[in-house]
Amino acid sequence: MSENTAMLEEQFRRRIAGGETIEPNDWMPDKYRSQLKRLISQHAHSEIIGMLPEGNWITRAPSLRRKLALLAKVQDEAGHGHYLYSAAETLGISREEMFDQLHAGKAKYSSIFNYPTLSWADMGMIGWLVDGAAIINQTTMAKCSYGPYSRALLRICKEENFHKKQGMEVIAMLIASGPKGKAMVQESFDRFWWPTLMMFGPHDAESPNSPDMLKWKIKLKGNDELRQRFIDMTVEQAHAWGLTIPDPHLKFNEQTRSWETGEIDWKEFQAVINGNGPCNHERMEARRNAHDNGAWVRDAARAYEAKHRRNGGTTV
Amino acid sequence: MNAPHQQPDDQWDLWEVFLQEGENEPHTHAGSIRAADAENALQNARDVFSRRGAVKNLWIVRSRDIVATVPGDTASFFEPGSDKVYRHPQFYRFTLADELWKKP
């Protein structure tokens, strides 16, 4: 490392420690840039792939009210994907590059979206559990050191609360409808509980990128702390609804005032992350098709712009 | 699954979006979008940044047309404004008999 770089790194470290926000044109260590590119593009991909399990139910929503909510939610996810791709682009990676990484199967996205949505109760479950977990992650991350990511997350957090609430409304209504509805919720809960806990990532001790990311305030809390916050909140809600947590080892620790769970099946987590979950193939297929089938729209918009430019005017 | 994507496409132009979110509020930067032309940019900006209303007016400008200060030069560039304490009301001190304050 040259003397100059060492000095810049020290200045950078002091700026982060002083709570300053890093902006796109500021000097930053290569590794800070590459970690952020990875993190923000993965987050963007998750929003886009996350549209698929819910899109699956738009045509089968049980009422117009539910269909409207689902459509609005899926539109929000597309918007969130846009905010995040833009934030990643400020780091000098192009959108094509990110799409190519995703479509080639080289990029990761949240493992939860590789599970199927088999019943209507799953739409409630995604709002309650999956968006609930995402909100805990994102509200913490919104205080991160990189300005464009932080600002994108603030916008996302503002919109995400409706996602969780509409999901909880779906669950509450199914439970109130009687034993059949409640059984449907329990069956869905049994399938989503563990995969949702996996969303927070591996234990801190096994999370290879965590130390750097905490040092640079790319991450502000460890995976385990955020997971615990989610568990404590959600176990109480599940009990209030009379649901059973699918974990024989779950117990309340009187000392820490916290719920302790059994061990997560990390083999399953690794399998899903590495492309072998129940729906990985299907999701990637749907994503690639959507991109390829949208090519004519991109071409048409470009042709329209070119025609107006030739005519010497703008399109507005 | 591992074949590289066959149709790399160059993305549309990058535009910056500024929203005026209330009566008598300034336009503030909200983020960026991609669009082929200005009309398309206005529509995309609306769809991405005002899905819940609350926007009074929207500006878009091609990102490449924005000129900004350079981070490395920030200190010297803004220096002329940083040492002029006499431009602040706190710089001026005087006393006045109390009753003079109360007169219309």
pLDDT per residue as tens digits for the range A158-167 = 888 899 999 9
pLDDT at residue B18 above 70?
A: yes
Give dist(CA A262, CA A264) in Å, integer. 7
Dihedral (CA of A157, A74, B61, A102) sign:
positive
Q: What is the predicted pLDDT for the residue at B103?
A: 63
Chain A residues within 8 A of B48 when measuring between CB atoms: 79, 82-83
Q: Is A174 helix (H, G, I), strand (E, B) or coil?
A: helix
Contact A25/B70, CB-based, under 8 Å?
yes
CA B72 centroid distance within chain? 20
pLDDT digits (tens, 9 = 90+) for A271-306: 999 889 999 999 999 999 999 999 999 899 889 988
* Beta pairing partners, B17: B31, B60
pLDDT per position as a tens digit, A59-95: 999 999 999 999 999 999 999 999 999 999 999 999 9
Chain A positions touching B34 (Cβ under 8 A) are: 95
Q: Is A304 on the interface with B (CB under 8 A)?
A: yes
Under an 8 A CB cutoff, do A26 and B71 touch? yes
- Predicted pLDDT of residue B4: 34
Does B54 reside within a domain?
yes
Predicted pLDDT of residue A314? 60
Helix, strand, coil % (nearest 5) of chain A? 70, 5, 30
- What's B16's DSSP letter? E
Q: Does A290 touch chain B (CB under 8 A)?
A: no
pLDDT band of residue B5 (cuts 50, 70, 90) is very low
pTM score, two decimals? Answer: 0.89
Number of domains observed in the structure of chain B: 1
Residue B26 lies in a domain: yes
Averaged confidence pLDDT in chain A = 94
pLDDT digit string, tens, across residues B51-82: 887 899 999 999 999 998 887 788 888 888 88
Structural domain including B34 reads 9-66
Residue A287: per-residue pLDDT: 95
In a domain, B39, yes or no: yes
Which domains does chain A carry?
3-278 (1.20.1260.10)
Question: Is B103 inside a domain boundary?
Answer: no
Q: Which two three-digit tokens encode residue B14?
A: 């990058």
Q: Is residue B97 part of a domain?
A: no
Q: Measure the CA–CA gap between A99 and A97, rounded to whole angstroms.
A: 6
By C-alpha distance, the chain A residue nearest B36 is A302
pLDDT of residue A313: 66
Residue in A25, A281, A302 nearest the CB of B71 = A25
Instruction: Tell if the CB–CB gap between A316 and B39 is shorter than 8 Å.
Output: yes
Q: In the predicted model, what is the mean pLDDT of residues A147-160?
A: 94
Across A5-9, A142-146, A169-173, least confident range: A5-9
Does B1 map to a domain?
A: no
Report whether pLDDT(A54) > 90. yes
The residue with tokens 């995703």 is A102
Residue B14 lies in a domain: yes
Instruction: Tell me, yes or no, whether B22 lies in a domain.
Output: yes
Q: Check residue B12 and report its DSSP letter.
A: P
Compare all CA atoms of chain B with the CA of A81 and give the residue at the minimum distance.
Answer: B48
Secondary structure class of B32 (helix, strand, coil): strand
Paired tokens of A67: 């269909």
**Which of A305, A311, A314 is best to mutate for the B interface (most B CBs within 10 A)?**
A305
What's the CA angle centered on A55, arms A243 and A275, to 5 degrees?
80
Domain of B50, CATH number, reads 3.10.20.520
pLDDT confidence of residue A211: 82
